Chain A
Amino acid sequence: MSFGRWLGIYGPSYLEGLAQTGLIALVSAACAIAWGGALLLARLAGGRAGARIVDGYVQVFRNTPVLLWIYLIYFAFPPIGLTWPAVVCGGLALMLQNGAYISEIFRGSFKAIELIQFDAARSLGLSWWATFRKIVLPQVLVHSLPALGNQVILLLKDTSLLSAISVAELTMNAKLLTEQTGAAYEAFVVVAILYLVLVVIVELGIRWARHMVSWRPPHHAL
């Protein structure tokens, strides 16, 4: 049947998968950013040993595919008693993998803070935790925004792998639809377009965030 007709009949069935994908991506991204921040903290506060451990963690996740970790958590957790739903297992794997990359992004932004700021903080009498909260964290977050946006897009694309452990998201939707209707080409083209739409949404969100944090002259100043 024609593409338009096919879309009209099966289009709405994509919405649930789309919502699920968006939700998984959102929650995983938030957790991954938090986890990346925790890794940054571990690197800064842990001294040489802490930095080495975080480096090792990052290397492990840089050199292994995320699908392996998804399988590991999904297949290995039930036998040891943790019967989490598939979504949580997959989300955890995504969080661990992307957290490693995000901690590297944060590390780069941290290096971009001029050393003189730490001297200034010291002379103001700020404690280590206070300098982290008031000097390091805001600047690191703002400086990382573009790279974080990129990483969120990668995370969004990796959510499609969750279909391998039968999570009901967009790619799974397309696979089921293909089996039902046999129209593989149409099914996957629509899914590809939907992923592109999600990517555009994330990019627009990042642009909005960058605009929000950028310095603009106050409206009363002329």
Chain B
Amino acid sequence: MLVLLLKGALATLMLAIVGICGGTALGVGLAGLSFARIRPLRLLYRLYVFVTRGTPVLVLALLVFYGLPAMNFALGPYVAGSIVLVIYGSAFFAEVFRGGVLAIPTAQLESGRSLGLPPGAFFRKIIAPIAFRYALPPYVNVCVMMVKASSVLSIISVWELTLAAREIIERTLQVFTVLGTAALLYFLICFGVDRLGRRAERHLMHRGFMGERA
């Protein structure tokens, strides 16, 4: 039983990693969209974030899982689940990155401007490092949220920890033990992600944060 739960935890971890990587990539693009010069693009961003954050994960998952085959786009549960996590996470990641960029003190941006940096270097040397350091704590929060959202995918029959636990309960009826162990595994995963994030924060603080050394 424990082995099955551990395998489920591994599946959960894989799903979460795919969701985090894809969501981060899409989120960076979306955050860039939110600072577009053309107003319709910014409105598009606001609409996307509103819709994606306003619908429950389950409804999104059911829409992708049942709706896409209806449009002749049959996907396996894992692919559908990954797509849902990526889309759902991208909205939250985009807001996190946007918040990080907005938190940059204007003095830094003005200094960068007065240095006459080309746009690529401006982004690489000024915006990216500072925004990343501001965004890290909420970013870790969203990562933990992705791990917890993966449990919802069990309802569209994506095999991961929650579904594994449910299967074991249906066979053995030891509800407390099985769900307690599953809860413990989720706790370990999320706590681990949190700790990793704190370590990353400390490391970045050590490397310097706008001239302040830890």
A160 and B186: CB pair below 8 A? Answer: no
Check if A189 is an interface residue, CB within 8 A of chain B: yes
The contact size tier of chain B is: 35 or more
| Interface hits, B109-161 → A, CB 8 Å | 144, 147-152, 154-155
Check if A188 is an interface residue, CB within 8 A of chain B: yes
**A144 nearest CB across to chain B (Å):** 18
List of 8 A-B pairs having minimum Cβ-Cβ separation, nearest first: A184-B66, A63-B190, A65-B151, A160-B56, A157-B56, A65-B148, A188-B63, A185-B67
| Interface hits, B145-179 → A, CB 8 Å | 147-152, 154-155, 162, 165-166, 169, 175-176, 179
A68 and B169: CB pair below 8 A? Answer: no
| Interface hits, A57-89 → B, CB 8 Å | 59-60, 62-69, 71-72, 75-76, 79
Inside 8 A of A182's CB, which chain B residues have their CB? 70
Main secondary structure of the interface of B (DSSP, over half): helix
* Known contacts A63-B187, A158-B56, A196-B55; is-contact A76 B176 (Cβ 8 Å): yes
Inside 8 A of B36's CB, which chain A residues have their CB? none
A160 and B59: CB pair below 8 A? Answer: yes
Inside 8 A of B194's CB, which chain A residues have their CB? 63
Inside 8 A of B152's CB, which chain A residues have their CB? 65, 67, 161
21 A–B contacts from the bound complex (CB under 8 Å) = A60-B187, A63-B189, A64-B187, A67-B155, A68-B183, A69-B183, A71-B169, A72-B176, A72-B179, A72-B180, A72-B183, A75-B169, A76-B179, A153-B54, A161-B56, A171-B56, A178-B62, A184-B70, A185-B63, A188-B67, A195-B55
A71 and B179: CB pair below 8 A? Answer: yes
Measured in the bound complex, the distance between the Cα atoms of B147 and A171 in whole Å is 22
B66 and A188: CB pair below 8 A? Answer: yes
Residue of B nearest to A60 (CB): B187
Main secondary structure of the interface of A (DSSP, over half): helix
Check if B182 is an interface residue, CB within 8 A of chain A: yes
Check if B50 is an interface residue, CB within 8 A of chain A: yes
A63 and B56: CB pair below 8 A? Answer: no
Residue of A nearest to B176 (CB): A76
B162 and A65: CB pair below 8 A? Answer: yes
Interface centre among B63, B147, B180, B194 (most CB of A within 10 A): B63
B151 and A188: CB pair below 8 A? Answer: no
A188 and B62: CB pair below 8 A? Answer: yes
Inside 8 A of A192's CB, which chain B residues have their CB? 51, 55, 59-60, 63
